[in-house]
Amino acid sequence: MASSILRRFIPRKTTWMYGQRMMSSTIDVSVDEQTGIALMKMKRKPVNSLNLEFLQDIRNTIVTLEQNKKCKGLILTSDVPKIFSAGIDILEMYQPNEERLHNFWRALQDMWLQLYMTPLATIAAINGHSPAGGCLISISCDYRIMAPNYTIGLNETLLGIVAPFWFKDAMCNTVGYRETEIALALGKLYSTDEALQKGLVDEVVTSEQIMEAAQRKMLEYVKIPNMARAMSKQLMRQETADKLCSTQDSDVQNFVNFCLQDKVQQSLGFYLEQLKKRKSK
């Protein structure tokens, strides 16, 4: 399965395990050993934005769960009200330290490869807004359930930046070429209903029902013989993952060069200002 990918990365250990519970400062995980279903709640306040350490924590958690023989499925959700994840922490890209910027992008790549190719069945219970990197996490799961009145999409162009090819590939694999082309150009944030209509999410239920719906669907997944299910996933996804695996270093360098451009820094600074202004209105 993803073992060729997994062997290449040895994650930093920051997640603690107490019996069936794992904790870090940004993630809460519990494993139900009867059903084989793990629940991971993201809790990096205020908006679950993805910084270097948070990305490493997410990846470590997936690795640890993969090593737990009793765990077959993972439900990802948020503990922050109304926000699944605000995507990449913009402060990682704005006025960055160059070495950290390298490490940050590598951590994002590694987290994505781990999540996208994990042999665990994965369901995103999207209980809040899910722009950009939040959308990437969602579309990297096997199944998506979303609560009403939130938004999801790859809105990078609105920040004056560009979704990398592997975000684009994951989106294309989910909603198709033409929809992705429109979505990326316009930085489209879909409402929950639009997302369902376009196949960006698979199911819509109320916030109150979302965990029950995710558990119900996950029971369907974990009932399937594990190896057959995991190999089918690999069949669908390996080619996409390999595209990044074979170009990880140059992808990091492209990202760093892109971010360090004055124009990009100006756009990010402007976007951050807008976020603050919006808040004070």
Q: Give contact residues for ligand LSGSKGXN (rule: CB under 6 A).
A: 46-47, 49, 83, 86-91, 129, 131-133, 155-156, 159, 161-164, 254-255, 258, 275-276, 279
Per the structure block, which two tokens stand in for 93?
Answer: 């890209």
In the 8-state DSSP scheme, what is residue 25?
S
Nearer to ligand LSGSKGXN, 40 or 189 (CB): 189
β-bridge pairing 128-131 and 73-78: unpaired
Per the structure block, which two tokens stand in for 62?
Answer: 């997936």
Give the shortest CB-46-to-ligand LSGSKGXN separation in angstroms. Answer: 5
Nearer to ligand LSGSKGXN, 37 or 171 (CB): 171
Within the chain, residue ranges assigned H as helices are 3-6, 52-67, 90-93, 98-117, 133-139, 165-175, 177-186, 192-198, 210-223, 226-245, 248-259, 262-280
On whether the CB atoms of residues 26 and 17 are closer than 8 A, the answer is no
Give the shortest CB-159-to-ligand LSGSKGXN separation in angstroms. Answer: 6
Give the shortest CB-111-to-ligand LSGSKGXN separation in angstroms. Answer: 12
Give the shortest CB-221-to-ligand LSGSKGXN separation in angstroms. Answer: 27
- Backbone region of residue 74 per phi and psi (left: phi > 0; alpha: psi in -120 to 50; beta: other values): beta
CA dihedral 246, 251, 253, 257 (to 10 degrees): 160
Nearer to ligand LSGSKGXN, 47 or 58 (CB): 47
Nearest residue relative to ligand LSGSKGXN (C-beta) = 87
Nearer to ligand LSGSKGXN, 72 or 168 (CB): 168
Nearer to ligand LSGSKGXN, 60 or 109 (CB): 109
